[in-house]
Amino acid sequence: MSVARAVSVDTRDLLYAALIGNSLAVLSVAYVLLSGITITQPRYAVYGLAWIFVGVVAVWKTDPAPADERTRRRAAAIAVLYFVALAAAGGVLVTAMRPGAGEFGVRLATLAPGWGPAPVVSTPWAALVLMPARIVGYVALAYLVYATVIDAAGAAVSGIVGLLSCVSCSWPILASILSGVLGGSSAVVAATFDFSYDVSTVVFLLTVALLYWRPLFGNRLG
């Protein structure tokens, strides 16, 4: 009976995952047709959809361990700071501009599927580039860090120490900084179509895998 239940759960998970994948594919085709964009580098679209698919599945299948309110608040604070660091390093929050050089405005960047459509909110001091793949991916990483810090506390290790000992947590930030250094002058182009995105996608997938299974502290999977 236990074997039959395991097979049933696995089958259900596969069906849900297939539903997510098919929905992303349909939405991507509709987006390409409606926007009229031309995809000259298909791998970028694959990368963007992979970020979204893996991010959604990782959050769906991660179940943080039970913890007291104080531990949850600390873990949430660390996760929020981690998300902000990722956003700043990964081109979501663009602040590298001369004060007063920009202007208030909102536009839609029609990037490759997964990365676009990306609303761009600009101000004289900073800009937000809301690429779906980046937002979903970074939220997933932050949520996994939240679960990791709770597991670290449960293992009688300080949440901060546990996070710092998770070397892989810093990989997406370092990869994003490297991407910005190697990119061009346009923040959107540099953050989306630079060759270093091949590397950053591999780093993202590997980081999700390590944070998902959390071999140092054990894991709590749904």
Give the Cα separation of 66 and 201 in Å (integer).
31
Looking at this protein, which amino acid is placed at residue 205? Answer: L
Can you give the pLDDT at residue 171?
53
CA dihedral (44, 48, 53, 59) positive or negative: positive
Can you give the pLDDT at residue 58?
92
Can you give the pLDDT at residue 97?
55
Number of other residues whose CB lies within 10 A of the CB of residue 27: 15
Q: What is the pTM of this model?
A: 0.78
Can you give the pLDDT at residue 168?
46
Can you give the pLDDT at residue 44?
87
What is the DSSP code string of 135-164? HHHHHHHHHHHHHHHHHHHHTTS-HHHHHH
In the chain the first and final C-alpha atoms are separated, in Å, by 20
- What is residue 108's three-state secondary structure? strand
Looking at this protein, which amino acid is placed at residue 35? Answer: S
Q: Tokens 């580098």: give the residue.
A: 41
Q: Which helix (H) or strand (E) holds 70?
A: helix 69-89
Can you give the pLDDT at residue 96?
57
Tokens of 66: 């039970």
Q: Which residues of the chain have pLDDT under 50?
A: 1-8, 100, 156-168, 179-193, 219-222
Can you give the pLDDT at residue 53?
96
